[in-house]
Amino acid sequence: MEKVNLPIKTKIAAWLLILVGGLLEIDFLIEWIKDITQGIWYGSALPFLLLPIVFFLPGIFIIFRNKSAWWFSTIFLLAILIFDITVGWQFILGSVISGSIDLIFFLEILILIIFPLIVFILLLLDRKNFFEIAS
């Protein structure tokens, strides 16, 4: 029996999760090493180093056609979206009111909202095709 390929939207969403998880992990590791070399020690840095794995692992499991990873990814992305929208807009409004709005800061907050939204929509669009193919 021939193995059926994953739907393209699901592949894109999974690879985006893997890419962003990997980039976040590299960024967190660089910042952590930089802080250690400057003599700043955070005893609770481990959760921040493990946080990108929450993006990375579901992407890998989706590539391997795991239904529970699809559910975990969609629920996790929905929680991130709710958090980013509520907290992100408060930061944006606070900086607009105080008059210290920065374009880079605004774009960072916008990316934090748009990325999970795009991946969430891609996962939802191919839900039926993924569940037909997944084991």
Which range (1-5, 10-14, 41-45, 119-123) has the least confidence?
Answer: 41-45
Q: Tell me, what DSSP letter sits at residue 5?
A: P
pLDDT of residue 12: 92
Q: What is the pLDDT of residues 49-65, one digit of tens each?
A: 777 787 888 888 888 88
Does residue 1 fall inside a structural domain? no
Does residue 2 fall inside a structural domain? no
Query: What percent of the chain lies above the pLDDT cut of 90?
Result: 8
- Structural domain count, the chain: 1
pLDDT of residue 42: 63
Q: Is 22 left (phi over 0), alpha (psi -120 to 50) or beta?
A: alpha
Q: What is the pLDDT of residues 56-94, one digit of tens each?
A: 888 888 888 888 888 988 998 898 888 888 887 777 777
pLDDT of residue 122: 92
Does residue 60 fall inside a structural domain? yes
Does residue 81 fall inside a structural domain? yes
pLDDT of residue 90: 79
**32: pLDDT strictly greater than 90:** no
Question: Residue 88: which domain range?
Answer: 8-133
Over residues 37-59, mean pLDDT: 74
- The dihedral sign for the CA sequence 106, 16, 74, 123: positive
Does residue 3 fall inside a structural domain? no
- The dihedral sign for the CA sequence 73, 78, 83, 89: positive
